[in-house]
Amino acid sequence: MSALPLSPPDPMRPVPFRVDRVRAETHDTFTLHLRPPAWLEPFAFAPGQFNMLYAFGTGEVPVSLSGPPGTSRELLHTIRAVGSVTRALGRLRRGDQVGVRGPFGTPWPLAEARGKDVVIVAGGIGLAPLRPAVHELLEHRDAYGRIVLLYGARTPRDLLFSRDLESWRGRFDLDVQVIVDRAAPGWHGLVGTVTALIPRTPLDPEQTTALVCGPEIMMWFTVHALKSRGFATSSIFVSMERNMKCGIGLCGHCQLGPFFVCRHGPVFPFEKIGPTLLIREL
Amino acid sequence: METLETILAEIPVFHGLKPEYLALITGCASNVRFTADQFIGRKGEPANRFFLIRQGRVAVEIHAPGRGVLTIQTVGENEVLGWSWLLPPYQWHFDARALCVTRALALDAKCLRTKFDKDPALGYELLLRFSQLIEQRVEAMSLQLLDLYGVPEDVPR
């Protein structure tokens, strides 16, 4: 007799995952390597999706998955320690447990982008939700045209995934440009904002899908720069961050106009979400 | 054949400029080369030249007592370095230092300003174009001040 299929987990009930490793990325950002319980393996997700992470006794926050997508025995979440929950997550050590609900939300439109060029614009911690997309694009490199990654951070010490960036810059089939707001002597790279890279980068707006992630203000100015280059808002996708609580579009905490960011997003075509960003009351 | 005039015509800030104006400007241009770490301009020095970068990269730096040196912008291929030459007192506002071997066209500011006095239409045309550069620079600096990558107040933490 074959075993009965396991029921999918209740989306409202956190499942305890074990911390395999906590890796420091920068002075304030770290990556949690989480191992699901055996009955939940393999844990599948798509680039752009997020999990709700519960630091027991402290609280729950939405965090994008930052590791290679597909099915994995280990889940990666890259987190900036800025509040009580994220700091509690940063204090976890190997063997500790985290409550996980998910994966939730819409993914980056990588299937729709097949056959086209892709430009990825990331700002600060925004590279984390885009990292699985870069992995996926490189995994299926032949399915895409030109791939460009533009990444901006405050200073060189704020750059995430420096080993990945070095490895990606070494490839001939990926154009990577990194820029920081300010730098001390010793930095030989570019200085300025990530938006300044857009006019300088060869792009064909008609043939390119843009994936943008970072703080809302950074995405706003990035979209403005892309539109100035001739991009249609239907070709620009952004990942929104709001006060997500339930993760499944029930509680309404993350409502943005007619959308629940946790369910209809976090990845949206800009043509859909853009108008709501200008409404002061939202 | 590639001449200084054809090279100038390809630099975005001079795109679409009348050929006679290009010829006048070319008369004030020369090729220059800087080694890595060489200062191209120092704050407070006379801004007698500005540069069109052809190859390489230049850091625009501030040195503030007690704060050390901070790079606030880099200027690369086909971009313009310097606009203090346009406005009195014609002094560099920042330090400019080559980050690597850098080749550029240097434009003699005194030579250009003399030509502007003789032909105000040329001066107006250049002033319009450089005003756009200054506007872009101010906008870029505003974005840097906005701290684009900071964590918003209203996100779950």
The CATH class of B4-146 is: mainly beta
**B5-52 pLDDT per residue, tens:** 888 888 889 999 999 999 999 999 999 999 999 999 999 999 999 999
Query: Mean per-residue pLDDT for B97-113?
Result: 96
Interface test with A, best of B57, B148, B154 (most A CBs within 10 A): B148
Contact at 8 Å (CB) between B58 and B46?
Answer: no
Contact between chains at B155 and A125 (C-beta distance less than 8 A) = no
Cβ neighbours around A78 below 10 Å, total: 23
Long-range contacts of B127-134 (CB under 8 A, 24+ apart): B127/B86, B129/B13, B129/B14, B130/B13, B130/B80, B130/B83, B130/B86, B133/B13, B133/B80, B133/B83, B134/B83
Residue A86, amino acid:
T
- The alpha-carbon gap from B32 to the nearest alpha carbon of chain A, in Å, equals 21
| Token pair listed for A241 | 């961050």
Specify the residue for token string 């997550």: A89
Identify the segments of chain A with pLDDT beneath 50. Answer: 1-6
Q: What is residue B106's predicted lDDT score, i.e. its pLDDT?
A: 96
CATH topology for A15-104 is Elongation Factor Tu (Ef-tu); domain 3 (2.40.30)
Domain A117-229 has CATH 3.50.50.60: no
Q: Which residue has the higher pLDDT, B134 or A278?
A: B134
Does ipTM top 0.90?
no
Nearest to A196 among B68, B140, B147 (CB): B140
Contact A191, A183 (CB under 8 A): yes
- Tokens representing B33 are 């080369």
Average pLDDT of chain B? 91
- Which of A86, A126, A185 minimises the CB distance to B157? A86
Residue B156 has a pLDDT of 59
Distance (Å) from the C-alpha of residue B65 to the closest C-alpha of chain A?
Answer: 14
Q: Please report which helix (H) or strand (E) contains residue B140, including its range.
A: helix B120-146
| Domain boundaries for CATH 2.10.240 within chain A | 240-282
| A83/B156 CB distance under 8 A | yes
Contacts of B59 in chain A (CB under 8 A): 185, 191
Q: Residue B146's closest chain A neighbor by CA?
A: A217
Q: What pLDDT does A75 receive?
A: 93
Identity at B35, one-letter amino acid code: T
Average confidence score pLDDT of chain A: 92
Which of A154, A155, A116, A163 is closest to A137 using CA atoms? A116
Query: How far apart are alpha carbons A118 and A41 in whole angstroms?
Result: 31
**Residue A133's CB: how many other CB atoms inside 10 A?**
27
pTM metric for this prediction = 0.89
DSSP B72-139: EEEE-TT-EE--GGGSTT-B-SSEEEESS-EEEEEEEHHHHHHHHHH-HHHHHHHHHHHHHHHHHHHH
Residue span(s) of chain A under CATH 3.40.50.80 come to: 117-229
**What is the rounded distance in angstroms from the CA atom of residue B120 to the CA atom of residue B109?**
15
Query: Are the C-beta atoms of A119 and A210 separated by less than 8 Å?
Result: yes
Residue B152 sits at the chain A interface (C-beta within 8 Å): yes
pLDDT at A3: 45
CATH 2.40.30.10 maps onto chain A at: 15-104
Q: Do B151 and A215 touch (CB under 8 A)?
A: yes
Interface residue of A86, A89, A191, A197 to substitute, partner B, most B CBs within 10 Å: A191
The domain spans of chain B are 4-146
CATH 2.10.240, domain A240-282, yes or no: yes
B67 touches chain A (CB under 8 A): no
Mutate to test the interface with A, among B15, B57, B71 (most CBs of A within 10 A): B71
What's the sign of the alpha-carbon dihedral B63, B67, B68, B71?
negative
